[in-house]
Amino acid sequence: MKIYTRKGDKGKTGVFGGKRESKNGVRIECIGTLDEVNSTIGLLRVKLEAGHEWQNNLHKIQKDLMDMMSHLARPSDSNKENQNPRPTDGAEFCEQWIDELENALSSPSDYFLLPGGNEVSALCHVCRTQIRRGERTLISLAEEDPLCVEEYVIAYINRLSDLFFTLARAEMDKHGVAEEKWNLFLYKRKKKA
8 belongs to a structural domain:
no
Burial class of residue 145, CB neighbours in 10 A (0-12, 13-18, 19+): middle
What CATH code is carried by the domain that includes residue 183? 1.20.1200.10
3 belongs to a structural domain:
no
- Mean pLDDT computed over 17-25: 67
Number of compact structural domains in the chain: 1
156 belongs to a structural domain:
yes
The residue range of the domain holding 51 is 13-75+88-192
pLDDT in tens, 31-62: 999 999 999 999 999 999 999 999 999 999 99
Are 63 and 90 in contact, with CB atoms under 8 Å apart? no
108 belongs to a structural domain:
yes
If DSSP codes are grouped into helix, strand and coil, which group holds residue 51?
A: coil
Considering the chain, what is the average pLDDT of its residues?
A: 87
pLDDT in tens, 64-92: 999 999 989 888 776 656 566 777 899 99
